[in-house]
Amino acid sequence: MNREEALELIRTRRSTRAYSQKPVENELLEQILEAGRYAPSGGNSQTTHFIVIENREVLSKLAELAAQEFSKMEVTPGMYRSMANSINRSKAGGYVFHYNAPVLILTANQADYSNNIADCSCALENMMIMANALDLGTCWINQLKWLNENEIITEYLRELGLEENEKVYASLAVGYPQAELNRTPLMRTGNKVTRIL
């Protein structure tokens, strides 16, 4: 494969936060899931569980429950900014955590497995890159991770197939962007590199 194209595919992955309601073709979604499943896992455990929600009623119900549960929480000093936003917007009403994307892919893993977050994260990165190759937009969603100790959310996710001992560690919104897909690489000013030669 062309090396420059590989780097470009990685560099041009951007977050999409406004989605068209056009459904994602099944063939493309299958390719995204295959990319996710081929992420590495600690000791080749392959315990990442992909729960793929395309049903609009389920997505709405999940968004409502999340807003309901966030609105019961309080913003505390030093809280992660996006989490504070989720709480504040839920209290204000009408908060939809997945940007109304037509597809939401939850990645769950064993709660007692030390590589759970790492494995789910690698799966998400692969899926984001593959979606970019397919002209689809994605956005990393942390909200269900923040609620992964919440009983009401957990109970609903169990109905959807979340297994005993599994928790959601990362989720991915997927869909066609409302406007043209933004592929302008965002400048890196952080992410320092120290070389020891």
The footprint of its own copies on residues 94-133 (CB under 8 A) is 114-115, 117-126, 128-130, 133
The verdict on 184 binding its own copies (CB under 8 A) reads: no
Applying CB under 8 A, which of residues 24, 52, 87, 168 lies at the interface with its own copies?
A: 52
Is 134:30 a contact under the CB 8 Å cutoff? no
| Residue 158 exposure: Cα atoms within 13 Å on the Cβ side | 9
- Catalogue the E-assigned strands of 31-119: 49-53, 103-110
Q: Which amino acid is at 173?
A: A
Residue 185 makes CB contacts below 8 A (sequence gap 6+) with 11, 12, 14
Binders of its own copies in range 131-150 (CB under 8 A): 133-134, 140, 142
Regarding 171 and contact with its own copies (CB under 8 A), the answer is: no
C-alpha of 64 from chain center: 18
Nearer to its own copies, 33 or 87 (CB): 33
| From candidates 16, 19, 24, 53, binder to its own copies by CB under 8 A | 53
Count Cβ neighbours within 10 Å for each residue of 125-153 and write b for 16 or more, e otherwise.
Answer: bbbbbbbbebebbbbebbbbbbbbebeeb
13 binds its own copies (CB under 8 A): yes
Site string for its own copies, 56-75 (x = CB under 8 A): --x-----------------
Minimum CB separation of residue 182 from its own copies in Å reads: 13
Nearer to its own copies, 54 or 91 (CB): 54
Closest CA to 56 of 18, 107, 93, 102: 102
Q: Amino acid identity, residue 104?
A: L
Q: Which stretch binds its own copies (CB under 8 A): 27-35, 64-72, 93-101, 148-156?
A: 27-35
Task: Supply the minimum distance, in Å, between the C-beta of residue 93 and its own copies.
Answer: 23
Which of 9, 65, 73, 96 contacts its own copies by CB under 8 A?
Answer: 9
Q: Is 182 in the site for its own copies (CB under 8 A)?
A: no
DSSP annotation of 39: S
| Secondary structure class of 188 (helix, strand, coil) | coil
| Residue choice 74, 179, 184, 189 for contact with its own copies (CB under 8 A) | 189
